Amino acid sequence: MKKIFISNKKKIIWVLIIIAAVFLLWFFFFNKKAVVIETYSVKKGDIAETVMETGSVQAAQMGVYSASSGVVQELYVQNGDSVKIGQKLFKVKSTSTDKEIASAYANYVSALSNLKKAQQDKKSSYTQLLSDKKNLTDAKGDKKYQKNNDTNPKTNNDYTTAEKKSLEQDISAKESAVELSQQKYDDSDTAIAAANANVQASKLSYEATRDSISVAQVSGVVSNLSAKVGDVVYYSDISVTSSAVASPVLIVGNLSGYTIKISVNEMERTKMRLNQKASIKFDAVSGKEYSGTVKKIDDFGVIDSGVVTYNAYLSIDDQDDNILPNMTANVTVETASKKNVVVVPNKALKPYKNGKGVQLAHVDNTGKQIFEYVSVTTGLKSSSQTEIVGGIDEGAVIALSDNAVVTVPARK
């Protein structure tokens, strides 16, 4: 009875093994899905190479600060007004005390005195320089005489070794004196510039203690005016120790001719030229595309964290009222274009032999499609396709997907 049970158990195990083997054979040999390789028939088409960057709207503008610290007494303009150079903008009544006025005036007078002294010092240093140069010339003349004559005219005896050495030392001392006086004279210009700057600053500080009327320094349109009569405003050079912060009372800007500023990398810079055309889209203006033109490109780059970028500026050729200063702009500059050339999708290109290649399709003797790598020479490149200058022609079939199996070596 026990032998019969063991025999049946062995039969069951063998049956299970056979079933598993059949399943594995079916899975590996009969359940394979056909590999689908995406291909592309090479065509001719148009291609444009572009530079795509994000920038911002720039407007010619000038912030107008109060010329004095005090209370706005009168406003002569409002937002949206067009103004010309010299036109009155607002009047401020100073809140400075008599003590503050006197102190500011004293600083101004002191600055004027320091400027006058710096100018006098320059004249004195120039006089000293001329004197030292003459002394050096005389010393060199004495040395030249000694070389040509044995007798010292001062003693009517031959020059001694000590006298000859003294002449050399005298020249060296005179040269040092000229060098020092020349340095003092050169430094005097710096001292005068610093003194003059101090005069201008102290003058403005003194004027800031008095009532003032601010006028437009440029022509344009008034914007960002938030102050009203009775508001307190501050002189722009207010002391850094103060808790008050000076800010423009208003802005005068040119709203008719905006500029788009973008930053491009080194490779993009080499492709950009003046008068290239661009398309511009704004995040704040949906559904509309504007046209632009490259007007200026910087030659000197800006280095930030080891990365060099160059600023480029574009005009907006069809500007409208939807565009405002500092808006974000998405710019696409067309740097080169060609028509009716051989192009392939970018994903068809693979790294090959230190360059680029494609997987070219062929049909073997059995009618099976096979692929081989072929080197290609590329030209312009857009965001989606690349120009093929050599290696394959129009009508060639190439693989786009990465699952193409190269079954034959590349042709030579």
Three-state DSSP at 264 gives strand
Residue 240 has a pLDDT of 40
Whole-number percent of the chain with pLDDT over 90: 60
Q: Which of 207, 238, 269 is the last residue of a domain?
A: 207
> Residue 228's closest CA among 251, 252, 253, 250?
250
Same domain, 170 and 197: yes
* Bridge-based pairing state of the strands 88-94 and 277-282: unpaired
Q: Which of 320, 336, 352 is the last residue of a domain?
A: 336
Residue 169 in any domain: the answer is yes
Positive or negative CA dihedral for 49, 55, 57, 58? negative
pLDDT one-digit tens code per residue, 290-299: 999 999 999 9
Residue 151 has a pLDDT of 84
Residue 379 in any domain: the answer is yes
Q: What residues contact 316, with CB distance under 8 A and at least 6 apart? A: 258, 259, 260, 280, 290, 291, 292, 323
Task: Please state whether 304 falls in left (phi above 0), alpha (psi between -120 and 50) or beta.
Answer: beta
Task: Indicate the DSSP class of residue 406.
Answer: B
Three-state DSSP at 70 gives strand
**For residue 384, what are its two tokens?**
């989606």
Residue 14 has a pLDDT of 64
Q: Distances from the Cα of 410 to the Cαs of 114, 126, 373, 375, in angstroms? A: 84, 82, 5, 9
Residue 405, pLDDT above cutoff 80? no
Residue 409 in any domain: the answer is no
Same domain, 150 and 195: yes
Task: Supply the CATH number for residue 393's domain.
Answer: 2.40.420.20
Q: What is the mean pLDDT of residues 186-198?
A: 92
Same domain, 108 and 13: no
Contact 139, 170 (CB under 8 A): yes
**For residue 142, what are its two tokens?**
């004495």
Same domain, 329 and 375: no
Q: What is the mean pLDDT of residues 135-141?
A: 89
Residue 87 in any domain: the answer is no
- With cut-offs at 50, 70 and 90, classify the pLDDT of residue 30: low
Residue 90 in any domain: the answer is no
Same domain, 376 and 329: no
Q: What is the pTM of this model?
A: 0.56
Q: What residues contact 318, with CB distance under 8 A and at least 6 apart? A: 290, 291
The strand pairing partners of 172, in sequence order, are: none
Secondary structure element (H or E) that encloses residue 407, with its range: none
Same domain, 328 and 361: no
Residue 383 has a pLDDT of 86
Same domain, 180 and 198: yes
Show the domain range for 179: 97-207
- With cut-offs at 50, 70 and 90, classify the pLDDT of residue 400: confident
Q: What is the mean pLDDT of residues 187-196?
A: 92
Three-state DSSP at 137 gives helix
Question: Tokens 């040509």 label which residue?
Answer: 148
Same domain, 330 and 375: no
Q: What residues contact 41, with CB distance under 8 A and at least 6 apart? A: 395, 396, 397
Compute the distance between CA of residue 26 and CA of residue 37 in angstroms, rounded to an integer.
24
> Residue 136's closest CA among 180, 164, 178?
178
Compute the distance between CA of residue 281 and CA of residue 262 in angstroms, rounded to an integer.
13
Secondary structure element (H or E) that encloses residue 24, with its range: helix 2-25
DSSP string, 232-260: EE-BTT--TTSS-----SEEEE--SS-EE
Residue 344, pLDDT above cutoff 90? yes
Same domain, 347 and 329: no
Question: Tokens 């601010």 label which residue?
Answer: 214
Backbone angles phi, psi at 233, to 5 degrees: -125, 165
What is the domain count for the chain?
4
Task: Indicate the DSSP class of residue 411.
Answer: P
Residue 8 has a pLDDT of 61
pLDDT one-digit tens code per residue, 116-129: 999 999 999 999 99
Positive or negative CA dihedral for 74, 77, 79, 83? negative
Residue 369 in any domain: the answer is yes
Q: How far apart are the first and last CA of the chain?
A: 77
Residue 242 has a pLDDT of 44
pLDDT one-digit tens code per residue, 222-269: 999 989 999 999 887 644 434 445 789 999 988 778 999 999 999 999
Same domain, 112 and 26: no
Residue 161 has a pLDDT of 85
Contact 95, 70 (CB under 8 A): yes
Residue 235 in any domain: the answer is no
Question: Tokens 């786009």 label which residue?
Answer: 400
Q: Where are the beta strands (DSSP E) in 226-345?
A: 232-233, 250-253, 259-264, 277-282, 285-297, 302-304, 307-316, 328-345
Residue 145 has a pLDDT of 85
Same domain, 190 and 103: yes
Amino acid type, 112: L
Compute the distance between CA of residue 404 and CA of residue 345 in angstroms, rounded to an integer.
16
Residue 105 in any domain: the answer is yes
Task: Indicate the DSSP class of residue 26.
Answer: I
> Residue 104's closest CA among 6, 22, 184, 205?
205
Same domain, 124 and 201: yes
Q: Which of 151, 180, 207 is the last residue of a domain?
A: 207
Residue 183, pLDDT above cutoff 90? yes
* Bridge-based pairing state of the strands 70-75 and 88-94: antiparallel
Compute the distance between CA of residue 102 and CA of residue 14 in angstroms, rounded to an integer.
115
How many secondary structure helices (H) and strands (E) does the chain include?
Answer: 4, 23
